[in-house]
Structure 1
Amino acid sequence: MTNQKQSQVTAHEKQDDRNFDDLAERFSRTIYATPRGQLRLLALEQDFADCGLNPKGQTVLDAGGGQGQFSLLLARQGATVDLCDISTEMLRLAQDQFEAEGLSITTHHARLQDINTVLPGEFDIVLNHAVLEWLEDPFDALPVLANKVKPGGWMSLMFYNLHGHQWRQIMNGRTHAPLSANPRLRKEGNSPQHPIDPDAVEQAMIKLGFSLERWRGIRCVHDHMHQKIRERIGQEAVNKSDLETGLQEPYRRLGRYVHFLLRKNG
């Protein structure tokens, strides 16, 4: 019998922040069920293991957690998960996934900026994955997230990388506008609108009292390797190379995403 509770706390969404009610099912098919989505999860798992994060008995806040793919992995290892998102469809998919495995999750229908009101208190681990780039004011969210982490606790921050975006656009022939998104993807609504400079994020988090324990680029190899070559060498070899290269300078700066594992001082 699933011990699942749900707290649907509704909050007004900021006009310019992206709600994925209309894309929830597509994201499930086109991101998380694909090799690139699986590579993302492998990278996050490796970072947690390398930095000695044991989720057992830990409280986890998945802020803007969507379908909760990674927090589900932590729940399997004994973590207690609260998940917040502005998309009711994403929350439904998260609940279905946890319920299918007999795991408990508490969900909150709220935007990231309202977390302190909706969900008071601090957590051992705060996750914020692929959310900042969809906010109108990404850096305004960092103090909100920082306040949810216990002293000595961890923040797992993954965001769309400015350098990887620019390089990809140039490689696709958009040398005249490397900062802009592909028009087709922009029209379909699944291209992040605010690529983020990892150096700026690092400096902001240091000022908020965190130390950076792990900096990884995700999809440093996968997204820049021709599909025919990926097919020839096989996904396992691509993943192995990506996981290794993603920890090395200067290649980690070309990843499509950046993952920071940060520890709160104190």
Structure 2
Amino acid sequence: MARQLDEQIAGRFPVGQRLRVLDVGMGQGTQALRLARLGHQVTGLEQDATMIAAARAALSGEPEGIRERMRIIEGDGRETGAHFLPGSFDVVLCHGVLMYLQDPDALLAGLARVLAPGGLLSLLVRNGDALAMRAGLSGDWAGALGAFDDVSYRNRLGVDARADRRAALTDTLAGIGAPLHTWYGVRVFTDTAPDGTEPPADLETLLAAEERAGKTDPYRGVAALLHLCGVRG
């Protein structure tokens, strides 16, 4: 996922440019902090107090220069208009958020609004076109059958969520002025691995296989997650 994002950034912006990045639903701040370490000016937006505390704790252990490049704002991603002016960011991330919203269109429109012309919108969503895969590979045949028609599901944390179909999101991105530029599959081979599994000894080989599959048809189409990159017109 990080490699895919870096690939898109490298292909769109001059080398060495310090980008203005917004990470909506930043969680513990892993991606935001990584980008701040790379020299970018990063704003993380998060509403969960536990996640904010974890992000601030991680940031406090960084050198002063990195701490100065990253700010954390407590807030709802659907309220970007209340926090930021139009065109404020070169890159906007929204990873693992849409699946918890019944109607994400307003959020997406707000993200496009704060994106500068030519800017990159990076989304990570559950793949509604492959929702039956995990259930089927786990032997849950009833769940697999139901997933063909229903994009709602319960995740591993026991939280109700929903998936997105790529064709529908492609239309949405075009409608908000940030048409789809490219897309990847994420977790093609590893989605059914149990939580807490120790990394394999050949982790680099696994990551290379995942990266290749995430760019290659038909494998990327059955990935558990989709990474979609839109570009603001």
Decide: shared fold, TM above 0.5: yes
Aligned equivalents of 1:181, 1:55: Cα separation in 2: 42
Once the two structures are superposed, the pairs formed by residues 91-240 of structure 1 within 5 Å of their partners are 91-102=52-63, 103-104=66-67, 105-121=70-86, 122-178=88-144, 179=147, 181=153, 185=156, 188-189=157-158, 191=159, 193-223=161-191, 231=200, 234-240=202-208
Specify the code of the residue in structure 1 equivalent to 2:102.
Answer: E
SS in 2 for 1:223: coil
Structure 1 contact 55–79 (Cα < 8 Å) conserved: no
Alignment size in residue pairs: 220
Aligned equivalents of 2:187, 2:14: Cα separation in 1: 23
- Residues 187-209 of structure 1: CA distance to partner in whole angstroms, max 9, x if unpaired? x43x5611111221111101222
Structure 2 contact 154–160 (Cα < 8 Å) conserved: no
Residue 72 and residue 223 in structure 1: after superposition, are their counterparts in 2 closer, same or farther (change >3 A)?
same
Q: Which of residues 38, 41, 56 is equivalent to 2:2? A: 41
Structure 2 contact 185–227 (Cα < 8 Å) conserved: yes
SS in 2 for 1:156: strand
Aligned equivalents of 1:246, 1:239: Cα separation in 2: 10
Aligned equivalents of 2:14, 2:189: Cα separation in 1: 26
Question: Could you tell me which residue of structure 2 aligns to residue 14 of structure 1?
Answer: none
Structure 2 contact 181–230 (Cα < 8 Å) conserved: yes
Residue 164 and residue 52 in structure 1: after superposition, are their counterparts in 2 closer, same or farther (change >3 A)?
farther
Compute the displacement of 1:243 (Å). Answer: 0.2
Aligned equivalents of 1:213, 1:250: Cα separation in 2: 18
- Residues 39-97 of structure 1: CA distance to partner in whole angstroms, max 9, x if unpaired? x4344334444555757411111111111211212111211111111112111211222
- Does 1:79 pair with 2:40? yes
Structure 2 contact 186–210 (Cα < 8 Å) conserved: yes
Residue 53 and residue 237 in structure 1: after superposition, are their counterparts in 2 closer, same or farther (change >3 A)?
farther
Query: Structure 1: which 4+ aligned runs deviate by more than 3 Å?
Result: 40-56, 180-183, 224-228
Specify the code of the residue in structure 2 equivalent to 1:220.
Answer: V
Question: Could you tell me which residue of structure 2 aligns to residue 260 of structure 1?
Answer: 228
Residue 226 and residue 108 in structure 1: after superposition, are their counterparts in 2 closer, same or farther (change >3 A)?
closer
Question: Could you tell me which residue of structure 2 aligns to residue 245 of structure 1?
Answer: 213
Structure having the higher strand fraction is 2
Aligned equivalents of 1:139, 1:176: Cα separation in 2: 30
Aligned equivalents of 1:82, 1:94: Cα separation in 2: 12
SS in 1 for 2:142: coil
Question: Could you tell me which residue of structure 1 aligns to residue 20 of structure 2?
Answer: 59
SS in 1 for 2:162: coil
Compute the displacement of 1:250 (Å). Answer: 1.6
Structure 2 contact 135–141 (Cα < 8 Å) conserved: yes
Structure 2 contact 128–163 (Cα < 8 Å) conserved: yes
Q: Give the percent of matched residue pairs that are identical in Structure 1 and Structure 2.
A: 25
